A and B are shown apart, each in its own frame.
Chain A
Amino acid sequence: QKEVEQNSGPLSVPEGAIASLNCTYSDRGSQSFFWYRQYSGKSPELIMFIYSNGDKEDGRFTAQLNKASQYVSLLIRDSQPSDSATYLCAVRPSGTYKYIFGTGTRLKVLA
């Protein structure tokens, strides 16, 4: 079992729809969870982080964390073509400095 798993996609959604990206992790003791966006040929950039169970909203983005089920998700409301990118889930297990990344989900927002 991989430490952090994501569906590679591509996930295609029409412009204006909600995009839902999911991630599961294996270390039950993990405490910190991150979503990075990576445009083709560019470096990853942090868009959201979440530490506690529940939802965290920032503009059109909402991160959801369920530690009991060991999954974290990212919702993008009112998806725009400019949101088309690969979204990387990262987990920091407790007591470590390491950030374990999933292989990413490619999102396509269709105009």
Chain B
Amino acid sequence: DAGVIQSPRHEVTEMGQEVTLRCKPISGHNSLFWYRQTMMRGLELLIYFNNNVPIDDSGMPEDRFSAKMPNASFSTLKIQPSEPRDSAVYFCASQTGENEKLFFGSGTQLSVL
């Protein structure tokens, strides 16, 4: 089992550019979470999918952020246009419906200059 796979590991971009983060959850997991981590605010839940359907996106900061899950094995988080305050580590996590353990990916370190 390869675990939750995120790409890229690091992304450096300039303000105003579009950024797309990718996530492949563990096979068989039916829940997927996108979190953002900063020193000041810790881990913040951005959006939650269950069976590929977005259940709650109330944590998405603003309309510049969007997320999709076209199938059970792939999800994207897009920021357009990006701003320096979006700089953070973005984690994807998946979970089965049978227990509450979250399996986190390695994260994407995003730097917006």
Contacts and interface: CB of A to CB of B under 8 A. Distances in A.
Interface of A: 32, 34, 42-46, 49, 88, 92, 97-104
B89 to A, nearest CB: 9
B42 A43 contact: no
A98 B56 contact: yes
Interface of B: 31, 33, 35, 40-45, 48, 50, 55-56, 91, 100-102, 104-107
A101 B35 CA distance: 10
Nearest to A92: B100
Q: Say whether chain B's binding surface is mostly helix, strand, loop, or mixed.
A: strand
Contacts of A44: 43, 91, 102, 104
Contacts of B102: 44, 46, 99
Given A34-B100, A101-B43, A43 B48 contact: no
Contacts of B55: 97
Contacts of B48: 97-98
A19 to B, nearest CB: 20
A68 to B, nearest CB: 23
A8 B44 CA distance: 16
Given A97-B56, A101-B42, 17 more contacts: A34-B100, A42-B106, A43-B106, A44-B43, A44-B91, A44-B102, A46-B101, A49-B100, A97-B50, A98-B45, A98-B48, A98-B56, A99-B33, A100-B45, A101-B35, A103-B40, A103-B41
A98 to B, nearest CB: 6
Nearest to A42: B106
Contacts of A104: 42
